Structure 1
Amino acid sequence: MTPPLAASTINSSAPGSHLVAASRPFLKWAGGKSRLIEQYQPFLPVDFQRYHEPFLGGGALFFHLASELHAKGKRAYLSDLNPELINVYRCVRDQVANLIHQLAIHQQQHSESYYYHVRAAIETEPIARAARFIYLNKTCYNGLYRENSKGKFNVPVGRYKSPKICVPNLLRAASAALQIADISEQSFTHIAEQAQDSQDFVYFDPPYHPLSETSKFTAYSRDRFATEQQIALRDTIGQLATKGVQVLASNSDCPFIRELYTGFKIHTITAARSINSKASKRGKITEVLIAR
């Protein structure tokens, strides 16, 4: 496996830098932040050397910052507890050509029956696993990632006429951006050990605390993110703050979160809620950005 390039070998004039500038998320991800970046901009720190994103998901903020990170020789540390997601990012970074080839095969064979065949399949080789993950992500209902109690992906097929399963330029741009990234499978709590001082910037985008009992959707995998985990996250952010680490965290705008982060700077932003079985329940809501 090809290791990621050292940050010092990449700059804004290097070959492929145009790809980095054009990079954006290559996965559909529930709660993705692409449409919120403009509202985040005023709260993003300028002076830092190491970027950390421990709830990786679609990586919208990382890809937004990627061009600057490359140009200034900065490093990124991306992580998540989902082993399949981490495998995807590593394959995009290290073996993008092989991955594109596999996805082109999925593109040619896609149908409803083929979807369920792939969903039921068990892949062991990294590239085949990554291609399966992206294929299901692009063709499942609403781009959701959800596992049952046995760790099996169980989202039904989506109703798309011509899903874009293989987008080579998008994947190559993401690969170029990821060359400065260390990508690891680990819990967010490890950030308290990795980030040390004001030269570290950590962005937390955890599963949001539910706004009501009927809106609970905090388990994209077998590892649930409940009240105890929200409290542990707050404590981790507090530990980082004592070391001078620059932190930004997003979450739902609800009394529990506002009370949990008493003493922190809380900013309100507007977001669109798109995941609901009833169209009438979708629309604009507020979220919070927590800074320390």
Structure 2
Amino acid sequence: MGRPRKDSQEARPFVKWAGGKAQLLEELLARLPERLGTYHEPFVGGGALFFRLRALGKAKKACLADANPELMAAYQSLRDSPEAVISELELLVGKTRKEDFYEIRAQSPDAMTAAQRTARLIYLNKMGFNGLYRVNRKGLFNVPFGQNDKAKILDAENLWAVHRALQGVRLELGSFHTVLKRAKAGDFVYFDPPYQPLSKSSSFTAYAKGGFGEAEQRHLARVVEELARRGVEVLLSNSASPLASALYEREGYEVARIDARRAINSKATGRGAIKELLVRVHARPPSERRPVKERQLSIDFAEPAAVRSRRTARPA
């Protein structure tokens, strides 16, 4: 894929996100199609692959999405008003005490401006325990203080680079299955969902209220297959769990098991090397594609009832 262009700094993820792909970029780049069409990333998270592609002059048309409202609000603020975000972060620099952290964590983002909301997210991500982002059933951030007095709360140079990389990019808040409404033949979709746990205590999926469990994993696998049938190129990452293996180790799918380090875990002993799946699904040739009828789409790929009820249920 070549080296990043040198006419500006390459943007890096502005938040640390579970499953971040900075360490696996070369593995991912090696599996991309020659032509991307429009680049879609429905679980954008930290956006490491997207930012690298933009630095390489790729992904000239892109749509980034996530189900996390705080995250997508931050992307929009940095795309549209980086100077306002930087001004708000300047007010938080130096607030490294435990008392400062919990005071800022207790503030409601609903009462904030877009720039304040973004600055709060970045601050909590930098100062929280091990860079976690986690919410409870009410959607409230509940990560404890991380005692990281050396954290770089404000990296203005990178925030401006992020701003430049996001110009012309479509940003959406929503579930991954909505990519079916936008992706067309010749496009490329990268899925990096919350990983299927390898054990009952190996990971968590509370990055947006409602979680991401087995029903969502199975729904995602159906969406992947449907995209391929429409002529869309797909790449997906997941843990090498029994469920993920069963869903994706099938005829016509290229599956690689690679070593990766889990950088975010509540216990230091859980941050070692693990096996991950990289799944490459090629677009079906025109003779094997099927026409799309919008009505049938709404029937076949609506959220499963179990998923919808968890997402909309009020917390007890």
- Normalising by the residue count of structure 1, what TM-score does the alignment of the two structures yield? 0.89
Of 71-80 and 102-111, deviating more is 71-80
TM superposition outliers: structure 1 runs of 4+ over 6 Å: none
The superposition leaves residues 17-47 of structure 1 with CA deviations (integer Å, 9 ceiling, x where unpaired) of 833x511111111110001101222101221
Is residue 275 of structure 1 aligned with residue 264 of structure 2?
A: yes
Q: CA deviation at 1:280?
A: 3.2
Corresponding position of 2:144? 156
Conserved? CA contact 1:145–1:221, under 8 Å: no
Choose which of 180, 190, 210 in structure 2 pairs with 1:223.
210
Conserved? CA contact 2:127–2:151, under 8 Å: yes
The superposition leaves residues 172-213 of structure 1 with CA deviations (integer Å, 9 ceiling, x where unpaired) of 001000003111101100111110102x11000000000012
Structure 1: gaps spanning 5 or more residues: 1-11
Matched residue SS, 1:233: helix
Is residue 289 of structure 1 aligned with residue 275 of structure 2?
A: no
Change in CA separation of 1:186 and 1:73 when aligned onto 2, cut-off 3 Å: closer
The superposition leaves residues 214-254 of structure 1 with CA deviations (integer Å, 9 ceiling, x where unpaired) of 22412222121110100110000011000110100000012
Change in CA separation of 1:246 and 1:118 when aligned onto 2, cut-off 3 Å: same
Corresponding position of 1:246? 233
Matches within 5 A, 1:144-223: 144-198=132-186, 200-223=187-210
Corresponding position of 1:64? 52
Q: Name the % identity.
A: 43
Distance in 2 (alpha carbons) for counterparts of 1:77 and 1:282: 31
Change in CA separation of 1:201 and 1:73 when aligned onto 2, cut-off 3 Å: closer
Distance in 2 (alpha carbons) for counterparts of 1:184 and 1:76: 11
Structure with greater helix share of residues? 1
Matched residue SS, 2:236: strand
Q: CA deviation at 1:117?
A: 0.6
Q: CA deviation at 1:48?
A: 2.0
Corresponding position of 1:76? 62
Structure 2: gaps spanning 5 or more residues: 282-316
Amino acid aligned to 1:271: A
Corresponding position of 2:220? 233
Cα root mean square deviation, aligned: 1.7
Corresponding position of 2:308? none
Corresponding position of 2:100? 114
Is residue 23 of structure 1 aligned with residue 8 of structure 2?
A: no
Distance in 2 (alpha carbons) for counterparts of 1:137 and 1:280: 21
Is residue 104 of structure 1 aligned with residue 90 of structure 2?
A: yes
Number of aligned positions between the proteins: 274
- Normalising by the residue count of structure 2, what TM-score does the alignment of the two structures yield? 0.83
Corresponding position of 1:88? 74
